[in-house]
Structure 1
Amino acid sequence: MRVGIIADRLDRPLTGIGNYVQNILHEFSQMSTNIAFNTIRYKKSEEFDNINEIILANPFEGLMKKSYYPWHLYMQLSLRMKPVDLDVLHCPESASIFTQIPDTKKIITVYDTTPVLFPETFTKGTLLRYKILFSKSISSSDMVISISNSTKQDLIRYFHVPEDKITVIHLAADDCYQVLPHSAIQIFRDRYKLDYPFILYVGTLEPRKNLSTVIKAFYQLKKEGLKHKLVIAGGKGWKYNTIFQLVSDLNLEKDVCFTGYVPKNDLPALYNAADVFVYPSLYEGFGLPPLEAMACGCPVITSNTSSLPEVVGDAGIMINPHDYEKLAEAIDSVLSGVELKKQLSKMGQARAAEFSWKRCAKETCKVYNDLI
């Protein structure tokens, strides 16, 4: 059986979807199976053993810094006009390939349905593309991989996808996320000048991540004498100006550190250096940052909504994401409770170990085989 995985996400800076593609391809390259794997992309890399590359010309390379959609449209046209010999086409980006390929079964991976649930947190352009592409991508697919049961239920409820068309396959934290020795953490602290105790948030700066609740909870704790600072690590997404404005309005500029995008190689040390990780997101299709933090032994406080209870289980503290006072109480309980902090750290590591990319890859291969 020949399977093609659209892997153009590896040809640009890695984000969540790119991380997913990279990890399953790495596991595929190590597997002994009846499947011949092929990546579809626009740059040759020979990155993975035992995986072939189908390279499509990219006439839009000069536009890629502004938009990737012209390339996706061109890729679909190329696959239809000059069909490649594939039994299965796997599209890891759910709102991109909306056409069917002749004589080829199609699978898409769906991460969340955020634009449906929280349209106010997106730009008009993003919403328009989503409305046009997402439903078409689902209807033209033979199978849908959902990264959580929460997302599966959303697909059934809002898009009326038949339940037997959806397979839930969980993601995992990468192996690099682990408890590090004190010396490695200190080197990181020195390089980033983090010579103070801190509360940590990691993620894109956008409305859905609910950073206003984090900042308000932090402000309340500062009024009560908290010595910690707040570190917000992540690149700017959209509609982020209100975040900086709130910090300014509350006179927290000296106590809130915005690091910007932190390279993946530095994230394990960042999680290790933090005293507590907060993630009161309004909605997540899976929620990798809490899982990464738990793998690093950092106590986690997150939302009691969407997929987050499914991921964190009883290894973290759950709060209503709209209640900043409850978040402040939870943070205080961790920072002031030595035994609670140790307990959450130990339980978090055990919980994170239940998820693995090897299992994710094996379950994905089973979907390929079952479909054929």
Structure 2
Amino acid sequence: MLGPVGVDVRKAGDTGVGRYVEGLLEGLARQCCPPALVLYGRSWDRSLRTYAEARRTLYTVRSGVYSPWQHLEFWRLLHRHSPPVFHAPHFTTPLVIPRPTKLLVTIHDVAFLQRPDLTPYEYRQPWRLLAYGLALKIAAFRADLILADTQAAARQIVRQLPDAGGKVRVLNPGVDLQRLAPSGRADPISAGGPQDTLLFVGTITARKGVHELLEAFARTQARRKGTHLVLVGQNRSAYARQAIQRARQLDIARQVIFAGPLPDKQLMMCYRRARAVVEPSHLEGFGFPVVEAMAAGIPCVASAIGPLQEVTDGAALLVPPGDVPALTDAVDQVCFDAGLSQELSKKGRERAAHFSLERMGEAAMAIYREAMEL
């Protein structure tokens, strides 16, 4: 049986990395012989209850993921518990790991190094970018194994972080296919009504291509009155305020809804009411909204960047990032072409089956075993 595995779960409950952590725990719990876990996080995380009580122990970590005090606190905790493997699902890993514990670090993307100009304004100060870049390099140097979400993300990591060479393994995140299944969903291509809605899910930032999405939607809306755009995700940043202002300038403010972050139940309702999900990102490591939309049978329009090309594998319409005319044409196609929408819906469900929680848990256990043998 696989020995105890330590996992930093402080990001559970957040978007992005939080969904990764929750999916990892659920995927491991669904294995026939789930490993014992030593979890380090906040004691009030509701998401941690998904893991069988008999197979996990939770220790409270008071330090935040960006706090310098976390390094001392984790050294003390790991020295006391000595798990054979410690998995940090975020690049801000503890600086010192007591041996013989093996360190696994998930690096979801290297956006800070690839495109610092797309970093949110609030984090674009030179000292912050330097600190984030240094943290990534330290994580790559210290890790025994590095986990990437996709093969494309793995290649980006190796290009940007030379110390990652030979250490990178791919662990595709998983989603709950049963929860997202389109059973009972109304016809996604029926004209008019509440399903004449385009959906974007993600933090409202420049790297997600939100301004380009608004420009494309303005052109589509001019030809198809009654269409709405719903944006689900954090929208309190300076960039988000600019996006809201841009919607007013384009005279589409009444048709665009900045919904903010939503609980899972409401997010599932948004997926089921959407005609299409549009994710015009400039940078991604995986793309949870795209996989969730495919699992729900919703046609997708996404950027033709490596990770999204790999994840969709022909099951979505892909356009060059930043190309507003191409994005407009793709959105028009899924809005007006019923046959194409049905085809994308079918292909999407088939492709999403490759990203089940069970597969994620099985792959994670194989990587943990490999780490223990290093």
- Could you tell me the TM-score, scaled by structure 1's length? 0.88
Structure 1 segment 349-364 matched on structure 2, within 5 A: 349-364=349-364
Aligned to 2:113: 116
Of the structure 1 ranges 335-344 and 90-99, higher mean CA displacement relative to structure 2 is found in 90-99
Write the deviation string for residues 312-355 of structure 1: whole angstroms up to 9, x where unpaired: 11111010121111111111111111111111111111111122
Q: Are 2:178 and 1:181 aligned?
A: no
Query: What is the CA-CA distance between 1:258 and the residue it aligns to?
Result: 1.1
1:293-308 equivalent positions in 2, closer than 5 A: 293-308=293-308
Question: In the TM superposition, what are the counterparts of 1:95-106 in structure 2 within 5 Å?
Answer: 95-106=92-103
The answer to whether the aligner puts 1:76 opposite 2:74 as a matched pair is: yes
Relative contact order, higher structure (CA 8 A, sep 6+): 2
Count of matched residue pairs: 355
TM-score normalized by structure 2? Answer: 0.88
**Which residues of 2 match residues 73-222 of structure 1 at below 5 A?**
73-79=71-77, 82-122=79-119, 123-124=123-124, 126-175=128-177, 176-182=179-185, 195=194, 197-222=196-221
Q: Which runs of 5+ in 2 are unaligned?
A: none
- Rounded Cα–Cα distance in structure 1 between residues aligned with 2:214 and 2:34: 52
Cα distance, 1:77 vs structure 2: 4.1
Q: Deviations over 1:166-203 (max 9, x none)?
A: 111111222321204148x9xxxxxxxx8462111111
Query: Does the 8 Å contact 1:155/1:161 carry over to 2?
Result: no
CA–CA distance in 2 between the matches of 1:21 and 1:196? 31
Which ranges of structure 1 fall in alignment gaps of 5 or more residues? Answer: 186-193
The equivalent residue for 1:252 is 252
Identical-pair percentage: 24
Amino acid at match of 2:180: Y
For 2:195 and 2:271, how far apart are their aligned partners in 1? 14
Question: Could you say if the C-alpha distance between residues 285 and 196 of structure 1 is closer, same or farther in structure 2, counting changes exceeding 3 Å?
Answer: closer
Partner AA of 1:346 in structure 2: K
Confirm whether residue 314 of structure 1 aligns to residue 317 of structure 2: no
- The 8 Å contact of residues 303 and 321 in structure 1, kept in 2 or not, is answered as yes
Q: Distance in 1 between matches of 2:261 and 2:44?
A: 26
5 Å-filtered alignment, 1:223-372, equals 223-236=222-235, 238=237, 239-372=239-372
Shift of 1:361: 1.3
Deviation at 1:300, TM superposition (A): 0.4
Matched to 2:56, the amino acid is: N
Structure 1 residues 147, 237: CA separation in 2 closer, same or farther (over 3 Å shift)? farther
Q: d(CA) in 2 for partners of 1:296 and 1:35? A: 30
Give SS of 1:39's match. Answer: strand
RMSD: 2.4
